[in-house]
Structure 1
Amino acid sequence: MTPVIAPAPSFSHVIRMSDDTGLFEHSRNAIVRREHGYCTDDVSRGLVVTSREPDPSEEVVRLAEIYLTFLTHAQDHTGAFRNRLGHDRRWSDRPALGDWWGRALWGLGTAAARNPAPWIRKEAMIAFELGATKRSWAVRAMAFAGLGAAEVLRACPDHKGAAALLADAAKAVGEPGDHPDWPWPQEHLTYANASLAEVVIAAGKLGGDHQVLESGLRMLSWLHDVQRTGDRLSVIAVGGYRRNGPRNRHDQQPIEVASFADACATAAEATGDPAWEDGISQAVAWFLGDNDLGTPMWDSTTGGSYDGLTPTGPNPNQGAESTLALVSTLQHARRLS
C-alpha cells in the first residue's frame, strides 16, 4: 500500500482539553466538559504522545510536565495509581492496579526513555520504577505496563526491573492457539487488542526469544486479517468479537486504530520488514476517511478526532482518548513520510 499523505500531528485540541492540573476526559463537540473531570488513563496517553515528539515546542513540553505531575500525584507509596480526579481536585477512587496502572507505566516508561527534557526523564523513571514493582491480575493492564517497560529497555537495555515486567506481561497475554482460524490466546477480542500482540512482539525482540517474537507476529498478522475489508481497515467495534460469534461493525473507536498502528510500527522495527508499514498507512487512512462509511474521522479546524464511527456517521464529540489516538497515529505517519 502506498503511504498516505497525512497532515502533521497537531496538539491544538490536546491543548484545548488541558489545564494546569491535567487532561479533561470528555467534550461536547470540541468544548470541554469539565464536570467529568480527569482520568489517569487519558493523562497517561497524553504523556506518551508528548514524549514521542522529537522536537517539541515549549507548549508541548509544558503539557508533558503537567501530565507527569498528575501521574506522580495519582501514584501512592506502593506503586499503585488512582484513576479519577474531579474538577474539584478530589479523587473519587482508591489506588489500584487496573488498566490505568498499566497505562500510567506506559506513559512513564515512554517519558523516561524518550522525552527530550532531562528533568522529565529523571522524574518519570523514578515513578516508573516504583510502579514496576507491582503486577496486575488484568491482562490488558499488564500489556500496557509491558509496553512502558519495552520503552525503558530500548533506552536502558540492562534495566532488570523493566525486563522482568516485560517478560511477565508477555506471559500474562499467553501463547497463541494452534487453530489457524483463531490463533489468539483468548476466546474474545475486546479492546486495545493490538496492544496484546505488540507487547509479545516487544518481549520477543528485546528478550532475544525468536519463538516469542514469532508468536506475537502471528497474532498481529491474524488480527490484521480480521480487521480488514479489502485494503480498508475495519477495527473491532464496541462490544468486541467472540470466536464463532457475529461480527458487529459499529461503533468503531479511534483508540483501536491507534493501538493497531502502534503494533505495526513495533513489528516493522522488530523485523525490518516494511510490509508492516501498510498497517500504519491503513490506520492513517481510516482517520482521513477510508473507513466503512467513507467519512473523515477528524475535524481539521480543531485538530480533534471524533469519538466513534457509528452506523449513521461520526460521533461529533472530540474527547481526549480519541484525539490522542489521532495524534499518535499521525506521529507514525510522519516517520514514514
Structure 2
Amino acid sequence: MGVIQHALENVPNRTFGYCTDDVSRAFMVVLAYLRLAPSDKTAQRFASTYLAFLQHAQLDDGRFHNFMDYDRRWLDEIGTHDSCGRAIWSLGYGVANAPTQTHRHVCAALLDRSLPTLKSLEYLRSRAYAALGLAHAQSALKEPKYQDALRYLADEIAASYHAHAGDDWNWFEPVMTYDNARLPEALMRAGQVLQAPEYGELGLAAFKFYESVTIENGIHVPIGNDGWYPRGGPRARYVQQPLEACAMVDAALAAFDLTGEPGHVATAELALDWYYGKNSRGITMANGGGCFDGLGEEAVNPNMGAESTLALLSAAYAMAARRSRVLRAVR
C-alpha cells in the first residue's frame, strides 16, 4: 500500500499508518534508485505501488489527502500544504524520471490535475516543493503550462526573500526552521530551467548564506529544532534532523549545476558525511539500512521512521548519481 510513517527503533509502528508526505518521498527515492539500477524488478513494483497511492490520495479538485490509517481509511479531509507540495514535487520528478512511459504519463496526468491548486499553497516550503517538481517536469517536457506555473512559484519565493533579507540576513524568513536548503534549491533549479538568472543568483546568494551558518570546521551542523534560528538570536544546535542533511546535499548539487564550482560538490559530500559520523556528536546516524530520527545533544533518537530513512537513501542516491556522471565523463 505504501510506507509506514513511524517506527519503534527499526520496527514499523502500524499505529500511525501511512502519509502522502512519506509516500511522495519514497516514490522519488525508488525512482532515483532505478536510475542507478534500471532492471531491478522489486524497485519497479515499489514505484507502481507508490504511484498508485498518490493517485488514490488525490482529491477531485487536485489537492491531496495526507494521513491514512493502517486500515486504509483517510483521516483528513485535505492534507497539509507541505504534503500537497511534496506530492506535486514527486509527480514532477516522476514525469522526468519514471522508468516507463506509462508511469510518466500517469505522473503527468496527476500533475496537470494539481496545477490549479498551486495558488492555494500559502507556505514557503510547500511552494518550494512544488517548484522543484515543476522544474523537473519543465526540464523534461518543455510545456508552457509548467513554465508558467514554475515562474509563479519562483516569483512568490523570491518575493519572500526580498521582504526579509538584509545586510546580515540573506534569507527568506525571519527564522530558519526546517528543511531549510529546499528554499534556495528551488530558486536555483527554477533559474536554470527557466534560463532566468535573477532566480539563480538570488538562490545562490541564499544558499551561500545558509552554508556559512551550517558548515563549521568542515562539519555540517544543521539548525536544531529546539528553538530554530531567529534572526539576531541564538541558533539551536540540537535536535538535528536527517532531512536537513539531505536537503543540503541536493541544494549543494544544484549550486554546482548552476555554477560549475567544485566546492559545492565538496559541500554536498560534507552533508552526506553527517549520516556517517562526521557530525557535531561524532555519531553514525545510518544504521542497518535505516537512519535514526534525530541527533540530540545528550542522545540519539533510536527510532528510524520513514522520513529519516528516506532522507538518508535520497542523499546517498543523489551523490551516487553524481559520481556515476563523473565516471562516465572521464571514460
TM over 0.5: yes
Aligned residue pairs total: 314
Give the conservation status (yes or no) of the 8 Å contact 1:133–1:161.
no
- 1:40 deviates by 0.5
Equivalent residues in 2 for 1:1-337, closer than 5 Å: 21-53=1-33, 54=35, 55-56=37-38, 57-96=40-79, 98-135=81-118, 136-157=121-142, 159-173=143-157, 174=159, 175-176=161-162, 179-238=166-225, 239-299=227-287, 302-337=288-323
Deviations 1:42-88 (A, max 9, x none): 00001111112212411111111111111110101211001000001
Aligned amino acid, residue 151 of structure 1: H
What is the alpha-carbon distance in structure 2 between the residues aligned to residue 165 and residue 260 of structure 1? 25
Q: 1: distance between equivalents of 2:46 and 2:165?
A: 45
Contact residue 297 and residue 306 of structure 1 kept, 8 A: yes
Q: Answer whether contact 1:61 1:117 (CA < 8 A) is retained.
A: no
Letter in 2 for 1:226: V
CA contact (8 A) 2:67 2:79 kept: no
Q: What are the superposed Cα offsets for residues 201-249 of structure 1, whole Å, 9 maximum, x if unpaired?
A: 1121111121221100000011011011111000111142110111111
- The CA RMSD measured in Å over matched residues stands at 1.3
- Indicate conservation of the 8 Å contact 1:195/1:259, yes or no: yes
CA distance in 2: counterparts of 1:98 and 1:92, whole angstroms: 16
| Structure 1 alignment gaps of length 5 or more | 1-20
**2:85 alignment partner, SS class:** helix
Write out per-residue CA displacement over residues 253-279 of structure 1, whole angstroms, 9 at most, x where no aligned residue.
000110111111112112222221012
Whether the aligned pair in 1 keeps the contact of 2:223 and 2:240 (CA below 8 Å) is yes
More relative contact order, 1 or 2 (CA 8 Å, 6+ apart)? 1
Q: Cα distance, 1:133 vs. partner?
A: 2.1
**Which residue pairs with 1:7 in the alignment?**
none
Conserved? CA contact 1:25–1:37, under 8 Å: yes
CA deviation map 1:117-136 (0-9, x unaligned): 22211111110111122121
Q: Please, which runs of 5 or more residues in structure 2 have no aligned partner?
A: 324-331
Q: CA deviation at 1:311?
A: 1.1
User: 314-323 vs 268-277, which deviates more?
Assistant: 268-277
Which letter maps to 1:298? A
Relative to total residues, which structure has the larger helix share, 1 or 2?
A: 2
For residues 240 and 265 of structure 2, what CA distance do their matches in structure 1 show? 21
Helix, strand or coil: the match of 1:66?
helix
Q: Tell me, in whole angstroms, the C-alpha distance in 2 between the residues paired with 1:155 and 1:336.
A: 19
How far apart, CA to CA, are the structure 1 residues paired with 2:258 and 2:232?
32
Query: 1:145 touches 1:165 (CA, 8 Å); kept in 2?
Result: no
Amino-acid identity (%): 34
> 1:96 Cα deviation (Å)?
4.6
Letter in 2 for 1:130: R
CA distance in 2 between counterparts of 1:278 and 1:168 reads 32
TM-score for both structures, normalised by structure 1: 0.90
Measure the CA separation in 1 of the matches of 2:90 and 2:63: 14
2: distance between equivalents of 1:24 and 1:328? Answer: 17
TM-score scaled to structure 2, two decimals? Answer: 0.92
